[in-house]
A and B are shown apart, each in its own frame.
Chain A
Amino acid sequence: MMKNARATILAAAVSAAAIVSFAVPALAQRDPAYAAARANGTVGERVDGYLGIVGDATPALQSMVNDINIKRRAVYSRKAVEKDATVEQYAMTAGCQAIARTVPGEKYQAPSGEWRTRTEEPPERDSRCP
């Protein structure tokens, strides 16, 4: 009985250690709801560096997108100050990169403002994008 309890504690410690060791990269992963929304095309990358809702907005979707965009804006603001740029300039540059990094099936906004589905072809980006 005591041995079992000790084994349980040991197992718990080992799994806790495992969780901690995976926790750092796990923090940098997308939330499953966000990952799913990207994959099924309900959200897409906008040209201005923020996330957009492609079809009809549901309250849950809207709140998720707002949350991500507030976080993005905070990051852009901090980095823009570091690089002596405006938030809009930094955000648009990040938008160029974020659109370039979309994978086939994901949505992105073309310079015309229309939503496009990423294919194997390079995405249609603003002419100023690197």
Chain B
Amino acid sequence: MTDQKLTGNRAGATSLTVTRGNRAVGHVMRHGVRVTIRNAGVVMIGLSALSGCINVAAPEEPIVIELNINIRQEVIYRLAEDAANTIDENADIF
């Protein structure tokens, strides 16, 4: 049982860098010998849901990786006009 668990974990880890098909294998392996057809179905549904999540999250990734994540775009938009006026009024230091 321990050996099977180890094998399952190893397959799961490598599948991350490979394809979605391999990851399914990894899941089945991780559940060990007692994988029923029903369980396999749950795994498939889980995977399709997961792939959906990845597709949605992909365009948002570059926005998340920013220097100052606590400054939100909506705040900047709210302050933009006032900041522009501030620059005009203090042209000697801008």
B92–A101 touching, CB < 8 Å: no
Residues A31 and B79 in contact in the complex (CB < 8 Å), given A97-B87, A126-B66, A127-B63: no
B76–A96 touching, CB < 8 Å: yes
Chain B interface, >50% SS class: helix
Residues of chain B within 8 A of A104, CB atoms compared: none
Instruction: Give which listed residue, B73, B84, B87, B93, contacts A68 with CB less than 8 A.
Output: B93
A92–B71 touching, CB < 8 Å: yes
How many residues on A have C-beta within 8 angstroms of the other chain's C-beta atoms?
Answer: 33
B92–A83 touching, CB < 8 Å: no
Residues A128 and B73 in contact in the complex (CB < 8 Å), given A75-B90, A94-B86, A98-B87: yes
Query: When chains A and B are docked, how far (Å) is the Cα of A26 from the Cα of B15?
Result: 67
Give A residues with C-beta under 8 Å from B.
Answer: 27-31, 47-48, 68, 71-72, 75-76, 79, 82-83, 85, 88-90, 92-94, 96-98, 101, 111, 113, 126-130
CB pairs A–B below 8 angstroms (25 shown): A27-B92, A30-B93, A47-B67, A71-B90, A71-B93, A72-B90, A72-B93, A76-B86, A83-B78, A83-B82, A85-B78, A88-B68, A88-B70, A89-B76, A89-B79, A92-B71, A93-B79, A93-B83, A94-B87, A96-B76, A97-B80, A98-B94, A101-B87, A130-B76, A130-B77
